[in-house]
Amino acid sequence: MSLDSWGPGETPGPTPLFAGNDRAGANHARLWSLIASCERHGVDPQRYLTSVLAKIGQTSAAELAQFLPDVWKADDEAEPVAGQ
């Protein structure tokens, strides 16, 4: 959909172009940056975010580097798969 296709007073639905406000835009950019980093390192973004979000609340600031996608991937590949 192009910007020209909107009628007077119409607004688009949620799109990457419109985040709502500056804070939401910054949060959106952080999320997409993580997703792009996952893809660059061959990591499934959904699996990565599910794992990280489950653990990050109990992690000190000094230990946050373990959640970088490349570091997380190496640790994840080293863990045995449950049931095998």
pTM over 0.85: no
pLDDT of residue 1: 43
In a domain, 74, yes or no: yes
| pLDDT bracket for residue 80 (50, 70, 90) | confident
In a domain, 73, yes or no: yes
Describe the chain by its helix, strand, coil percentages, rounded to 5.
Answer: 65, 0, 35
**Amino acid occupying residue 51:** S
In a domain, 35, yes or no: yes
In a domain, 39, yes or no: yes
pLDDT, tens digit, 9 for 90 and up, residues 16-74: 566 778 888 889 889 999 999 999 999 999 999 999 999 999 999 999 999 999 999 99
Question: What is the count of structural domains for the chain?
Answer: 1
In a domain, 6, yes or no: no
Domain assignment of residue 27, given as a range = 14-78
In a domain, 72, yes or no: yes
Contacts of 68 (CB under 8 A, 6+ apart): 37
In a domain, 29, yes or no: yes
In a domain, 3, yes or no: no
